[in-house]
Amino acid sequence: MKRIGLLTSGGDCQALNAAMRGVVKSLVNSGEQIELYGFLDGYRGLIYGEYRMLDISDFSGILTRGGTILGTSRVPFKTIREPDEDGRDKVESMKHSYYKLRLDCLVILGGNGTHKTANLLREEGLNIVTLPKTIDNDLWGTDMTFGFQSAVDIATQTIDYIHTTADSHGRVFIVEIMGHKVGFLPLNAGMAGGADIILIPEIPYDIDKIVDAIELRKKRGAKFTIIVVAEGAISKQDAKLSKKEYKEKVAKAKYPSVSYEIAEKIQKKTGKEVRVTVPGHIQRGGAPDSYDRVFASRLGSEAGKLILKGEYGFMVGYKNREIVKVPLDEVAGKLKSLDPNAAIIKEAKMLGISFGD
């Protein structure tokens, strides 16, 4: 008999439900007796002891459903050691919930921030297994995260929609794709959507190079240009600023996001009207695609296996086409970034895509 807690933390994404279903199905099918405690709204539920008992029927039919049946929230790692508004010790509260329910294990689904806290709980002595969730695919220790491919699908669809209107009107269009620190999502969506220019955090851009690329397209007879801009795209000048200086600059910015600034600069230099589209939160919404459903189910079933064997302190990841376990202390606090010299970047350049560098 195993008593297992489950929680989803951080920004939601596709296939969270599929992954939890995988964990639970594999435990149930093993014949092991289990009791399931679903903490509500991420670490919040663990801190405040808010949970609901779950059974297998709660996981029926959710393979295809977006979001998370447990709810989620962001509880920043930075302040996890600080007391909450009511003076409550958050870490002690989480441990209290765990021990009070006499849990054998806590399964945590989340991204970078989530993993830092998960590792802290491991250090505090809790049995933890985690699953790598993020549309950014920037988790260290795994080649792939679930949510990523589904987000690429939606971002690509957005670019597809813009393509017809850009073509009809002969316009320059910017599509801003999620990705504050890493460019996997904008890069893949841009390549899939046939973007002409892709600006990612890893490759600071030069506005003149962007204008050159637009003019070159015009010279070759193209009526329109589509630019994918990562949320965290940065110019060469700004890349030289210190973190603090850059933050101050952003705080003072006239526009809600970097795309509008880039649009304004291009407009000034080319005299052409530039339109901006910001699909935003839709990129983390909707049903998971077939890839993520299979992938998250596989990861979930392996998490179930670890629990059955009593192997704790791991994230279940994916390396060289195999599902693997990765020690949590190796994962926590590290970011997987996109090498600006990666093969895929070179291939994209060979396809004629400009990175503004």
Interface with its own copies in residues 176-205 (CB under 8 A):
188-189, 191-194
Q: Which of 277, 334, 337, 357 binds its own copies (CB under 8 A)?
A: 277
DSSP state letters, 331-356: HTT-B----TT-HHHHHHHHTT-B--
Q: How far is the CB of 266 from its own copies (least distance, A)?
A: 17
Could you tell me which stretch among 90-98, 126-134, 234-242, 298-306 binds its own copies (CB under 8 A)?
298-306
Q: Which of 5, 38, 67, 356 binds its own copies (CB under 8 A)?
A: 67
Q: How far is the CB of 14 from its own copies (least distance, A)?
A: 8
Q: Strand 314-319 and strand 322-327: pairing?
A: antiparallel
Task: Give the footprint of its own copies on residues 141-170 (CB under 8 A).
Answer: 143, 149, 152-158, 160-165, 167-170
User: Cβ closer to its own copies: 119 or 183?
Assistant: 183
Question: Rounded to an integer, what distance in angstroms lies between the CA atom of residue 283 and that of residue 78?
Answer: 26
81 class by beta-carbon count within 10 Å (0-12 exposed, 13-18 middle, 19+ buried): exposed
Question: Rounded to an integer, what distance in angstroms lies between the CA atom of residue 314 and that of residue 335?
Answer: 17
Question: Rounded to an integer, what distance in angstroms lies between the CA atom of residue 120 and that of residue 90?
Answer: 12
Per CB under 8 A, does 301 bind its own copies? Answer: yes
Q: Which of 297, 306, 326, 336 binds its own copies (CB under 8 A)?
A: 297
Per CB under 8 A, does 65 bind its own copies? Answer: yes
Q: How far is CA 264 from CA 190, 209, 211, 258, 270, in A?
A: 21, 15, 12, 10, 10
Catalytic residue of the set 12, 41, 136, 196: 136
Task: Give the footprint of its own copies on residues 12-31 (CB under 8 A).
Answer: 12, 14, 16, 22, 25-26, 28-30
User: Cβ closer to its own copies: 153 or 202?
Assistant: 153
Q: How far is the CB of 66 from its own copies (least distance, A)?
A: 3
Residues forming beta bridges with residue 102, ordered by sequence position: none
User: Cβ closer to its own copies: 114 or 149?
Assistant: 149
Q: 136 catalytic, yes or no?
A: yes
How many other CB atoms are found less than 10 A from the CB of residue 97?
21
Cβ(296)–Cβ(18) under 8 Å?
yes
- Which residue has 């970097």 as its token pair? 258
The distance in angstroms from the start CA to the end CA of the chain is 58
User: Cβ closer to its own copies: 148 or 205?
Assistant: 148
Residues forming beta bridges with residue 12, ordered by sequence position: none
Task: Give the footprint of its own copies on residues 75-104 (CB under 8 A).
Answer: none
Q: How far is the CB of 27 from its own copies (least distance, A)?
A: 9
Per CB under 8 A, does 290 bind its own copies? Answer: yes
The residue type of 298 is R
Q: Which of 85, 87, 251, 256 binds its own copies (CB under 8 A)?
A: 256
Q: Which of 81, 88, 223, 247 binds its own copies (CB under 8 A)?
A: 223
Could you tell me which stretch among 11-19, 87-95, 115-123, 333-341 binds its own copies (CB under 8 A)?
11-19
Closest by CA position to 192, among listed 159, 163, 224: 159
Residue 92: in which H helix or E strand, if any?
helix 90-100
Task: Give the footprint of its own copies on residues 307-346 (CB under 8 A).
Answer: 320-323, 343-344
Q: How far is the CB of 239 from its own copies (least distance, A)?
A: 26
Give the orientation angle of helix 290-309 with respect to helix 16-29, to 10 degrees.
40
Give the orientation angle of helix 112-123 with respect to helix 90-100, to 10 degrees.
70
**Active-site residues: which are they?**
136
